[in-house]
């Protein structure tokens, strides 16, 4: 993966310039602003990134991803691999060894009991653990000795770094959470709000959805860290106000997730007291083509299911023309600036997984028009193309968000030049991204022709992500409209590749397979039309050193190294 070169290099310089001689707590107080306020500090009970990132100040996993997507040991001595014998040759188990003499913030030792307990806690059937997918395929977690744990998988796992890896799968203290198993998890308010951890900070006070006060962990494993004695994490407001508080008034040291229009962010940065930082991960803003017919006149058991193929989006020429009409660079310029880049790939990174698919980057409206002409779509008197009485009239929906509405207007404008009529609809995110089977407006139900939103995958391995497009994984009435294959894509050849990928451990072959699958969904079929590889962007004050933006793990992954600079 690449980093947004100019923006991030500054941060990197500071990082290496500084880590020298500090003393724990010598730099006083640091203030962080999250415009979406954390609701809990237990990632297993969390509702999203905001909670996990806040929790990463306190709770730590065995290993984390660094800004390049490489694995770094945290509580583990080293990252287990097949080469060092930590991962079994048949890929059915992984053995982790804890660093010696690790202590919880309350002074008790960290042992393999705690690691096993964390797995039991999340895998309990009544717990409603939001990170359960991390433990997918785990059969048992065995304690070998006080510092060694072995995770056994039911089947070979080419990517065994699901459990205990990354900010979403940290280690909980058994002593604190042992009465919170299963259905009781939800009742453990005090524990969820103030977990005891091994991280650089401990919770002093937690006010849900408002503000969290932290203090330096007296038992942190590096006696010189963290540099800050106390930390406040304030939540609430909106991204504009958060950017302002760091970049314009300097009231805060760090603002998280600044999804702002590029000109607005650039203007704030011009003040000169702080700077935005960005890093790219796997988030891709894309158009999803509906291969099934969302016509409201259809029976509700047939509508938008594979039994009713779409009247014109099943024509690959139409999908391709719709993609060709889009000027992705202009979209980036208007909506994301340096924090986005045009892409034709569903899997944009890490670099070794990204296909060299760049044909879509140049807009070609004339070519798209020729393509539609050749395919027999003829312009009518009102300028809209038809074929066999079928008008190219599209209902285009997305979630409510300023940038997305501007994109909708632009895309409608381009499609209009193709002779395609477009009706726009925006739906509040809390409904659009929900899975309420009774609502007609969820992205799963897809009662529209084209939809626009972003999706990503955790960690660096795209296997589960690509497996979403399996035949039968589409939302439909018999599955209560649950399912991830929202395009209703179905190709037996693709399914075969999914199976091959899940059994292949050789990395080079995996890269090739992933690229082929990516191409099948994008440039070979235009079922998914990627638009923009979206980076994560945050901002920090110039007086804050050591910040190293990370899009593969929590942004606050190296908070122990943050410090004050002149």
Q: Which of residues 14-73 bind other proteins (CB under 8 A)?
A: 33, 37, 39-40, 45, 47-49
Neighbouring C-beta atoms of residue 101, cutoff 10 Å: 9
Which pair of tokens denotes residue 527?
């079922």
Q: Which of positions 95-154 make contact with other proteins (CB under 8 A)?
A: 125-130, 132-133
Is residue 413 at the binding interface for other proteins, with CB under 8 A as the rule?
Answer: yes
Query: How many chain residues are in contact with other proteins, going by CB under 8 A?
Result: 91
Neighbouring C-beta atoms of residue 496, cutoff 10 Å: 10
CA distance 207 to 234: 10
Return the residue of 399, 487, 525, 558 that touches other proteins, per CB under 8 A: 399
CA nearest 385: which of 393, 373, 377?
Answer: 377
| Pick 136 or 139: Cβ nearer other proteins | 136
Return the residue of 2, 78, 99, 267 that touches other proteins, per CB under 8 A: 267
Alpha helix (H) residue ranges in 79-209: 112-123, 174-177, 189-193
Q: Quick one: angle between helices 365-374 and 316-324, nearest 10?
A: 170
Is residue 423 at the binding interface for other proteins, with CB under 8 A as the rule?
Answer: yes
Q: Give how far Cα 294 sits from Cα of 289, 451, 452, Å.
A: 11, 12, 16
Distance of closest approach, residue 563 Cβ to other proteins, in angstroms: 23
SS3 388: coil
Is residue 245 at the binding interface for other proteins, with CB under 8 A as the rule?
Answer: yes
Binding mask 465-484 for other proteins (x = CB under 8 A): x----------------xxx
Return the residue of 330, 365, 375, 490 that touches other proteins, per CB under 8 A: 330
Distance of closest approach, residue 22 Cβ to other proteins, in angstroms: 26
Return the residue of 92, 108, 178, 213 that touches other proteins, per CB under 8 A: 213
Contacts (Cβ under 8 Å, ≥6 apart) of 232:
29, 30, 31, 32, 211, 212, 213, 214
Return the residue of 23, 179, 210, 307 that touches other proteins, per CB under 8 A: 210
| Pick 124 or 221: Cβ nearer other proteins | 124
Distance of closest approach, residue 219 Cβ to other proteins, in angstroms: 25
Is residue 238 at the binding interface for other proteins, with CB under 8 A as the rule?
Answer: yes
CA nearest 212: which of 188, 194, 234?
Answer: 234
| Pick 391 or 425: Cβ nearer other proteins | 425
Distance of closest approach, residue 102 Cβ to other proteins, in angstroms: 28
Is residue 248 at the binding interface for other proteins, with CB under 8 A as the rule?
Answer: yes
Is residue 176 at the binding interface for other proteins, with CB under 8 A as the rule?
Answer: no
Distance of closest approach, residue 357 Cβ to other proteins, in angstroms: 22
- 3-class secondary structure for 414-435? HHHHCCCEEEEEEECHHHHCCC
Return the residue of 424, 490, 511, 524 that touches other proteins, per CB under 8 A: 424
Contacts (Cβ under 8 Å, ≥6 apart) of 229:
24, 25, 26, 27, 28, 29, 215, 216
């Amino acid at each position: 993966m690449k980093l947004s070169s100019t923006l991030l290099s500054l941060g990197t310089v500071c990082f290496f310039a500084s880590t020298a001689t500090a003393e724990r707590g010598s730099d006083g107080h640091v203030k962080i602003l999250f415009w979406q306020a954390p609701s809990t500090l237990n990632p297993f009970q969390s509702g999203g990134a905001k909670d996990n990132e806040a929790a990463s100040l306190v709770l730590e996993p065995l290993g984390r991803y660094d800004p390049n997507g490489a694995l770094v040991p945290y509580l583990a001595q080293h990252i287990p691999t097949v080469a060092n014998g930590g991962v079994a040759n048949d890929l059915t188990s992984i053995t982790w060894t804890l660093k010696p003499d690790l202590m919880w913030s309350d002074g008790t030792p960290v042992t393999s009991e705690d690691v096993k307990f964390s797995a039991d806690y999340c895998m309990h059937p009544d717990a409603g653990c939001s990170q359960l997918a991390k433990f997918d395929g785990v059969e048992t977690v065995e304690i070998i000795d006080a510092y060694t744990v072995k995770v056994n998988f039911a089947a070979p796992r080419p990517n065994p770094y699901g459990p205990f890896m990354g900010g979403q799968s940290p280690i909980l203290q058994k002593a604190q959470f042992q009465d919170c198993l299963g259905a009781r998890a939800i009742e453990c308010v005090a524990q969820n709000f103030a977990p005891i951890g091994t991280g650089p900070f401990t919770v002093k006070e937690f006010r849900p959805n408002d503000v969290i006060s932290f203090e330096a962990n007296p038992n942190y494993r590096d006696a010189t860290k963290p540099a800050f004695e106390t930390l406040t994490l304030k939540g609430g407001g909106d991204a504009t106000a958060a950017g302002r508080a760091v970049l314009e008034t300097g009231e805060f040291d760090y603002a998280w997730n600044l999804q702002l229009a590029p000109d607005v962010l650039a203007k704030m940065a011009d003040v000169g007291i702080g700077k935005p930082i960005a890093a790219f991960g796997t988030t891709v803003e894309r158009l999803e083509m509906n291969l099934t017919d969302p016509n409201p006149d259809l029976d509700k058991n047939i509508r938008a299911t594979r039994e009713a193929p779409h009247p014109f989006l099943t024509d690959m020429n139409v999908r391709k023309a719709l993609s060709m009409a889009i000027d992705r660079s202009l979209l980036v310029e208007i909506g994301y600036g340096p924090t986005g880049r045009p892409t034709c790939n569903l899997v944009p990174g890490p670099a070794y997984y990204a296909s060299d698919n760049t044909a879509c980057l140049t807009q070609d409206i004339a070519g798209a028009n020729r393509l539609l002409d050749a395919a027999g779509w003829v312009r009518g008197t009102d300028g809209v193309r038809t074929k066999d009485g079928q008008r190219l009239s599209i209902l285009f929906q997305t979630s409510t968000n300023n940038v997305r509405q501007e994109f909708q207007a632009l895309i409608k404008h381009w499609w209009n030049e193709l002779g395609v009529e477009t009706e726009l609809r925006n739906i509040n995110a809390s409904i659009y991204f929900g899975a309420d089977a009774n609502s007609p407006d969820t992205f799963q139900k897809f009662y529209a022709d084209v939809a626009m939103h972003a999706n990503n995958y955790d960690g660096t391995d795209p296997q589960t992500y690509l497996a979403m497009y399996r035949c039968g994984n589409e939302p439909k009435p018999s599955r209560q409209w649950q399912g991830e294959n929202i395009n209703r894509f179905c190709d037996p050849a693709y399914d075969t590749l999914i199976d091959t990928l899940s059994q292949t451990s050789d990395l080079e072959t995996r890269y090739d397979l992933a690229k082929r699958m990516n191409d099948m969904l994008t440039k070979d079929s235009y079922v998914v039309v990627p638009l923009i590889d979206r980076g994560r962007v945050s901002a920090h004050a110039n007086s804050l050193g050591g910040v190293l933006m990370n899009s593969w793990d929590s942004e606050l992954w190296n908070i122990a190294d943050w410090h004050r600079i002149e």
